[in-house]
Structures are given as structure tokens and as C-alpha cells.
Structure 1
Amino acid sequence: MSRCVLQSSSSRLRASTSGSTLAESTGRAKKSKCNAAQQILASSSFGSGRLKLPKSPLCDSHKQSNTLTTSQNCKVTVVACPRKSRGLLFLAQYAKNEYRGIGLRSAGICCSVVAAALSLSCQHVSAQSSVTLGGMTDISIRYLTNDDAQNDGRFFMANGAVINSHFGLHGTEDLGNGLKAVFELENNFNPQNGSMGDSGRLFDSAANVGLSGDFGAVTFGRQDTPLFYKLITTFDPLTYASYPENSWLPWALEAGLAADNSIRYIADIGGLSVGAMYSFGGNYEISGPAGFSGDVPGHFTAGSLANLLLSYTTGALDVGAGVQQLRDNSNHRQTVFNLDARYSVSDIKIYTGWLYSQDNTGLIDTLLAEQSIPDISRIKGTDRIDNGPFGGFAWQVAPSALLSTAIYYDHMQNATTATGALGSGSRYTVVALAEYSLSKRTEVYGTVDFNKVNGTAAVELPGRSNQTGIAVGLRNFF
């Protein structure tokens, strides 16, 4: 998707959208043609460091005013420019004072400035940098059977079925010679009540900064592990479901999916992708009873996480392999191996994968238990093994309709029962998801899922040995 670029010089201001012309040259504009421009700019809001733009015939009418699509289908985003950049916001703040700024006088601002405002991307001459605010609001109505020890059903409102509602800031700054500074700040939230996804932190999904260039990208902070990042972008048929009844396999076996206090490297070399990470500890999702806080004097690797991923794309085939090792504060370990493949044929994508975990920390028992289990100190060192194949497909039935199915399976050994004994068991989940796009930003969906457990896995469901879930939802991207 192309981006509109605002270009400025000492004598003119014009907008370009991959070669399309949005307005006449400023030099030829007549003062009589500025009436509409004056009305538009005068009615705009320049407060709080942001420019609100009215709708324009140049843009699709269904788009909101701060995310516009030109007649050339060029999506642009309104962002704030520092005053020192002498960008359009600086110009707009002087609009009511005879339209002075960037070398333009009175009527010289005219038609092309308004056209540029309507295709604003706010990339100024002094430094090619941008900050983008984006995200998604997704809410669903869900019903679950056998959702307590008395096998009662539950009807409730929930977050999204596929990915949690979230918003975030993503920024880049061009440092020259192909080097860029990048940052990411992202927060999950609960649209059903307006609360934060995690009341204890502002950016629970991501908070990192780094450098990118021809060598790849190195980032520091809280971020997805390479194993999880590749899984959700390429190899999971549901792109990682957010209901715990659907996402239990990758969430538990991959140790919480994101890592705090981490250094991550990602690079694409032709069809080969490389990802590596090291975390110093304090991984949030697992920092409680399992003892993964890290930062233990004299124990450099306490609470640490190390992750390595390789994937390759050739034609319609994608393949990947990864390994991850997590240590607790007592040097017990959880090791995960992962193999994945995806094949595209016509409008169908076929997925298959395998997750294998060997856990001496008690982590998996703790994360998956819906019923009471013994204290974590009693189940460390039990050498639990999980063998988890998964697969599915996604079918683009029509440009606006997508059907997806997935099955997740786990055979476990040395898992902990409610009484503290060890045993074997299995669990599988089958999911069907139908999504329909009402526009480029708005979708509706319906989903059905079924869980079945036996043996030691019985503690992973709250009631009977099976559970069915049904949900419908609405999501909007912004």
C-alpha cells in the first residue's frame, strides 16, 4: 500500500500519491479559488498538537477524517509534526493570519495546500520520521458450557475472539545511511468495560526501542518472542486465538509469548528469516508462583529466556523451526521445540505444526490448570512432557469472506493431578471461524469451539471432560 508524502519548498507545497495529481500548482492558483480553502482551514481544529481534517471529495466518504483514502486508493494517516519541523501543522497554525508559513504568502497557500492537508502523512524535509497511532477494538458475545464445578453454562461479553483489543504507537526516524531508530508502545484493553488489559502496567503488550537497517532490526524491552511472532504472522491458522479455550497450546508451551527485559534480533535475508532473543528475566506472564523474576545476584541466567527461530519461504511454501529455553530462579528449565509449515494453493492456505515441551519448572501445570492443583513447589522437577501437533486451513471464499478451521492436540506425560500424583492424559480443541468484512476496517464474525480432555488433563477444564463455546463479534481497525 502506497503512502502519501507531503513535500515542501520555499515557494510551493504539493502532495504526491505515487504520481497522481491532487491539485493545481500553487503558482497558478487564483485568489478567487481560495474561498473553499479558507473555509476548510478555518473550520479545522489545530489544538492539542493534532490537525482534524474534514471529509473531502478526494477521499472515500466512508473513511474517518483522520484516516483518508484518495481516489488512487492511497491510505494516509494524520500524525502530529513538531513546530520546529516547519511542517503542515506549523503552517496551519498561521492559517488565520493571512496564510503565512513555509515561504507562502496570502493567496499562495490556496488549493494545493488544502489538497496536501487532505492527503497528510506529515513527513517533512528535515528528517524522514513518523509516529503512527493504530489498533483495533474487538468485542464478542460468548456462551460456554460446563464452565464451573457444577457444570453450569455461562453467557457473557468478552474481548475479541482472535486478537485482543489493543492500541499502540509505532514510530521510526531516519538516521541516514539506511539506519533508522524504531519504537513500539502497545496496550491491550477490555472494550466490554473500558479497563486496561493489565491494570499493573501501561503497555502490557509491547514497550521497546531499537535500530533497524540492512542488517535487520535489534530492539530492547518488552516484545514478542521470535517463536511466537512467526507463529501468529505465518503458521497459526487462527493467527493466535485470544480465548483461553482456543489458545492454550501456544500460550502455555511457549511460556507466555512475550518477554520482558529482552534483546531481540530479526532479519530477512532473501527468503530466509532469522530471529533470536535473550531475556534477562522478569517475564510478566510467568513471574508469579513459578519464580521467574530473574535479577538474582550471583546467578546470571536466573529467570532468563533464550529463543532462536529460522524460517524460509519459497514460492507457495513456508517452513520454520525454532527452539526456546526458559529458566526459573532455581535453574529449573523448560525447553520448547517447534516445527511449522504453510502451503498456499489458490485461495486456500494449509497449516501444520508441532510444539514439544519438556518442563521441570512446574510452569505448564500451573498455567493450564482450571481446577486446583498442589503448590508449585511440589511439582517442580517432575519433568512434564507435552507433545502438541496442530493444523488447519484458511479459505478466502470471497474477497470479503474468510473461513478458517484449526485443531490443537496435546499428549502429556508426568502431568500433575489435583491430588498431586503424576500421570498421562490428552486434550484436543477443534475451532471453526467465519469472518466477513463490511469495509476495509470493519468485520463481523462467528466462531464455534469444542474442547475434550481425558486422564490427567481433566484439571484443564473447570467442569466435565468437555466444553463447547459459541461466539459472535464485531471488530473495527483504526
Structure 2
Amino acid sequence: MKKTTLTCLALSSISFAAHAQSSVTLYGIVDAGLGYTSGQRVAQTKGAAGKPIVYSNASNYAFASGTWSGDRWGIKGTEDLGDGLSAVFQLENGFNIGTGQLGQGSREFGRQAWMGLSSTKFGKLTLGRQYDPIVDFVGTISAGTFLTGMGAHPGDLDNIDNQSRENNSIKYTSTDFAGFRFGALYGFGNQAGSVKNQSTWSLGGQYAHGPFAIGAAYMLANNTYGANGGAWTGAYDGTFASSINEGFASAENQRIIAAASTYQIGPVTLGVSYSNTQYKAGSFSLFNGKETFNSAGLTVAYQATPALRLAAGYDYTRGSSINGGSAPKYNQFNFASYYFLSKRTALYGLVGYQKASGKTLDAFGNLVNATASVGDVGNGISSASNAQTLVRVGIRQTF
């Protein structure tokens, strides 16, 4: 009788284990190299309203961390709950391999931190700090795929290169319908007395079939109305860390419409991208009305051999005239080469050049000359002049 009971218990435990299978994966990327920047602004005076900061310009030779891909390590897991339903989670930490410092504002899991449920029938619902649909559906087929963050639209002001994440958010992503997927996100501002303040909402979709892919998304991020305008500490991280748009961080809200498409012809992949980024002023903003930036880009990538890939791109960004000044304009050129030593390890070389013209606002709302800032802020550092060149060489390994 005892043997029969033990046998039943053993079979029951085996049956349960088979039903509730789970897995946890540790993964990461380490990316390091050397870089040259032709011009990096250095403040010589303090600034204020009516008194712009005086900058000097200096070239910079430096250690470069996370140029191709931001350095990271993460843990992700899934547990099978049966009938196509799974519990899922992902925790991802960003860091600087040169100093060991945490990234994304020194957050422990600043890149991603979410959990939720995934269904093969109904899609995935997740909660936490996560990417918005612009990143999911546009960023995955944008210039950054071939040119890294150095090829992002100037300053990554449209967040296509995932500079910003959404805190306190809930996101739904659909299953695949014959190549089409869609999703939506809402980020809670967690502001007492207001549902709208510092909240974010976004939606988008992507269609991919054979050599063709196209994606589009929309996002609206609300700032705190009132004296705290410019904080951007609620759902949305913000994208105001470069000279491209730092003068509009006090906006009441930010609206982004973005789209991208790729088409593969043998070893060649062609890509186009477009975004419209608008900042609307509020009562406490340092500018009036609206400021709009339109960005468009072209990319071409060539898989010369199984190990060697070459890519080039051009971006043009134009802002609307502000406070009577001439409209800011940015022309950017990028070149990239990758040599894969193995599936996990590769060498790379990147070059970016940008020329700026027109007038924009500084962080204090002063009308100033537009200055260059190549790519996203993770790779680029704003210049004090209207032209800038960046060069990066390095090695990248995944695990």
C-alpha cells in the first residue's frame, strides 16, 4: 500500500512538472572601444534667462562604452500555465563597461523591468518599466538596426532609438496575424489629484512579410502642468539631453508620430524613416505656441560576405521657426562597417558627421545658434559649433 502511494505521488509530481514547465535565462551584451569627437562643448560661464551659456569647443579622444549596443545584462523567464498561457518577466540592467556605473539614471534595472501574462491566442499583457510601441514597431526596422545609435535622427528626439522608457506602464502586444502585429501602452503619471499629469500613452503596429516590413506608431507624453514643468519624472523619461531640443524640455506635452520601412533585395537592404515631433507650450514653458521637428532618413546596408556588413545613411531634420529666428536644420551622414568574428563577437567601425544651421532655444529659453549633436545622446555629445564628426571603433560580444 505504501509503495502504491509513493508511486502515485511520484507520478503526480512528474505530471505537474510537465504541465508547469519554466525557464530562466541570463543574457547580456558587452561593448567597448575607442572614440574621437571633433567638437565637444565645454561650459565657460553659467547661464540664465537672457544670458546664454558661453561654450568653448574641444576635440576629445576617449574610451567608448556601448557604442553599437548599450552594455547590459538581464534575466528573463517564463512559466507555462497551460492552455497556451504563460507567466513572463524581464529585468535588464544597463551599465558603463568603462567605469562599472549603472546606466539610465543609475537605476538597477533601468533598461527594462516588467512582468505579465502571455497567451498564444490573445497576445501579451505586461506591467512595469518598458519600451513604447515606437521602439517596438518602428525602432526595430529603423536606421539604428544598421548604423547603431549614431545613425539615429539628431538627438533621438523621436525616441526611435529607445532613449526613453515608460515607467509605471501597462502594455498590450498582439499575436501575429499573417505578419501584422499591433500594440498599445499607457503609463501612469502617479500624480496626486490628476490622472493626466506626467502620463503617457502610445499605440502602433508593424507588418512584415518576406523582404518587406513597415511600421508606424504614435505617442503623447504629458508633462506636469504648473511650476514643475520640465521635470519629466512621471511615466516618460524624456529625450531632452542634447542641444537639438533641450530648449523645449519645459513643454506641456510632447507628441511623436513615427514610421519606418525596409525592403531587402538579395544582400542589400534599403530603409526609409520619418518622424514628426511636436512640443506644445504651457503656462510655465520657456517658449510660446508649438515647436515642430520633421525628420526623414535613408539607409542602405550591404552584406558583402557572411562575415562583413557595410551600411550608410543620411538624415535631414528641420524644426519650425521659433521666436522669430530662422528655422533650425540638421544634415547628418553616417557610415558603418561590421566584421563578425563569430555569431557572438564582432568588430566595428563607425563614422558620423552633422552640419547644423538656423536658430533654436537653449535650456534657459534663450534664442541661440543651432549646434551639431550627432546621433543619440548615448553616443553623441553636443558641440559648441555648427559641425561635428564622431568616429568609433570597438568590439561587441553577446552572451
TM-score (norm 2): 0.76
Query: Which secondary structure state, in structure 1, belongs to the residue aligned with residue 214 of structure 2?
Result: strand
CA distance in 2, matches of 1:198, 1:353: 26
> What does 1:47-446 correspond to in 2, within 5 Å?
125=18, 127-148=20-41, 149-198=55-104, 200-213=106-119, 214-238=121-145, 241-243=148-150, 246-247=151-152, 249=154, 251-254=156-159, 256-267=163-174, 268-281=176-189, 295-330=190-225, 332-361=252-281, 377-415=284-322, 422-446=325-349
Q: CA deviation at 1:304?
A: 1.1
Instruction: Specify whether residues 329 and 240 from structure 1 end up closer, same or farther in structure 2 by C-alpha distance, changes over 3 A only.
Output: farther
Secondary structure, counterpart of 1:163 in structure 2: coil
Question: Is this contact kept in 1: 2:64–2:392, CA < 8 A?
Answer: no
| Conservation of the 8 A alpha-carbon contact between 1:278 and 1:307 | yes
Query: 1:190·1:196 contact (CA, 8 Å) conserved in 2?
Result: yes
Query: Which whole-Å CA distance do the structure 1 matches of 2:325 and 2:80 have between them?
Result: 56
Name stretches of at least 5 consecutive residues in structure 2 with no aligned partner.
1-6, 8-12, 42-54, 227-251, 361-369, 373-381
Q: State the shift of 1:442 in Å.
A: 0.8
Is the contact made by 2:200 and 2:219 (CA closer than 8 Å) also made in structure 1? yes
Q: Which has the higher strand share?
A: 2
Tell whether the 8 Å contact from 2:147 to 2:335 is kept in structure 1 after alignment: no
**SS of structure 2 residue aligned to 1:232:** helix
Q: How far does the alpha carbon of each residue in 1:300-337 deviate from its partner, in whole angstroms, 9 at most, with x for none?
A: 11111111102212332111222111111119222111
Deviations 1:120-162 (A, max 9, x none): xxxx636211000001000120001021343321000111222
SS in 1 for 2:141: helix
Q: CA deviation at 1:258?
A: 1.4
Q: Give the distance between the partners of 1:239 and 1:134, measured in 2 at CA.
A: 22
Superposed CA deviations along residues 214-244 of structure 1, whole A, max 9, x for unmatched, are 211111000111111223322335457345x
- Separation in 1 of the partners of 2:20 and 2:390? 51
In structure 1, the residue corresponding to 2:109 is in which secondary structure? coil
Is the Cα–Cα contact under 8 Å of residues 154 and 330 in structure 2 kept in the other structure? no
**Structure 1 counterpart of 2:306, one-letter code:** P
- Give the conservation status (yes or no) of the 8 Å contact 1:357–1:386: yes
Deviations 1:353-410, CA, capped at 9 Å, x for gaps: 1100111159xxxxxxxxxxxxx94425431010111120221111111111122221
For residues 126 and 197 of structure 2, what CA distance do their matches in structure 1 show?
A: 22
From the superposition, tell whether residues 180 and 275 of structure 1 become closer, same or farther in structure 2 (CA, over 3 Å).
Answer: same
Distance 1:361 1:228, change over 3 A: farther
Q: How many angstroms apart in 2 are the aligned matches of 1:411 and 1:199?
A: 29
User: Which structure is higher in RCO with an 8 Å CA cutoff and minimum separation 6?
Assistant: 2
Structure 1 gaps, min length 5: 1-9, 11-84, 87-123, 282-294, 363-375
Check whether the contact 1:237–1:393 (CA below 8 A) recurs between aligned residues: no
Aligned residues: 327
CA apart distance, 1:338? 1.6
- 1:449 CA drift (Å): 0.7
Q: TM-score, normalised by structure 1?
A: 0.64
User: For 1:174 and 1:380, how far apart are their aligned partners in 2?
Assistant: 52
Q: C-alpha distance in 1, partners of 2:60/2:18?
A: 57
